[in-house]
């Protein structure tokens, strides 16, 4: 899978704004600050297609991108931003849930977790919702450059245990070193003709 063309299509605040096409779609989920923008930029080899380090506000959107004119990426709003009050933090979840429930062309949900953190309820809820829709989830460990290699397996085992997945299915990535890019391209390529 070689990405040659990337264009931003639109942002949507709710289901009525989701584009109505049937391109195979790949969605990216994760807590605020997990490194989602950086990872998407790495995957598409663009420095700043998605703005990194953006401070999450109250209005969060799903951003849609068209890749190679025949697949799409959905950049989901980051959730769980710690500085926001609990009631506003929770506000982002219905949009995510709505997306999961309605997006028939979703092929794979990439769920990003910081390699140094243990996943919590919010992340587990997403996995449960996706499983209910029979949508495959690929767990992506981010910021792997920040953890010594010697501690990687132990960290990955913790993450795998929380999601009840095989530790070998976790993607190890770093937007800093480019680790994991090839593997993610390969996975996406399997769903595209």
CB of 130 to ligand GDP, least distance (A): 19
* Stretch of residues binding ligand GDP (CB under 6 A), selected from 11-19, 65-73, 172-180, 185-193: 172-180
Q: Is 34 in the site for ligand GDP (CB under 6 A)?
A: yes
Q: Is 174 in the site for ligand GDP (CB under 6 A)?
A: yes
Q: Is 80 in the site for ligand GDP (CB under 6 A)?
A: no
CB of 183 to ligand GDP, least distance (A): 15
* Cβ proximity to ligand GDP, 10 vs 146, nearer residue: 146
Other CB atoms within a 10 A radius of the CB of residue 4 amount to 9
Gap between the terminal Cα atoms of the chain: 9
Residue with tokens 């849930």: 97
Q: Which of 37, 63, 67, 126 binds ligand GDP (CB under 6 A)?
A: 37
Q: Which of 36, 60, 103, 107 binds ligand GDP (CB under 6 A)?
A: 36
- Of 32, 165, 24, 183, nearest in space to 106 by CA: 24
Cα–Cα distances (Å) from 89 to 57, 78, 80, 142, in that order, read 10, 10, 6, 22
Q: Are 62 and 99 in contact (CB under 8 A)?
A: yes
Q: Is 53 in the site for ligand GDP (CB under 6 A)?
A: yes
Report the site for ligand GDP in 84-113 (rule: CB under 6 A). none
Half-sphere exposure at residue 107, Cβ-oriented, CA atoms within 13 angstroms: 14
CB of 190 to ligand GDP, least distance (A): 24
């Amino acid at each position: 899978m070689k990405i040659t063309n990337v264009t931003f299509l639109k942002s949507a605040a709710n289901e009525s704004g989701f584009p109505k096409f049937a391109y195979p779609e790949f969605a990216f989920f994760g807590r605020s600050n997990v490194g989602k923008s950086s990872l998407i930029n790495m995957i598409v080899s663009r420095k700043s297609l998605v703005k990194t380090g953006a401070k999450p506000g109250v209005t969060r959107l799903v951003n849609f991108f068209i890749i190679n004119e025949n697949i799409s990426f959905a950049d989901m709003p980051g959730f769980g931003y710690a500085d926001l009050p609990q009631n506003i933090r929770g506000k982002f979840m219905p949009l995510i849930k709505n997306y999961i429930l309605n997006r028939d062309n979703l092929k794979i949900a990439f769920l990003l977790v910081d390699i140094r953190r243990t996943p919590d309820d919010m992340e587990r809820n997403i996995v449960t919702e996706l499983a209910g829709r029979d949508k495959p989830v690929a767990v992506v460990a981010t910021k792997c450059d920040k953890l010594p290699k010697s501690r990687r397996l132990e960290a990955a085992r913790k993450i795998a245990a929380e999601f009840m997945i095989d530790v070998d299915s976790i993607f190890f990535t770093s937007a800093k070193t480019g680790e994991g890019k090839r593997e993610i391209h390969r996975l996406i390529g399997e769903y595209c003709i």
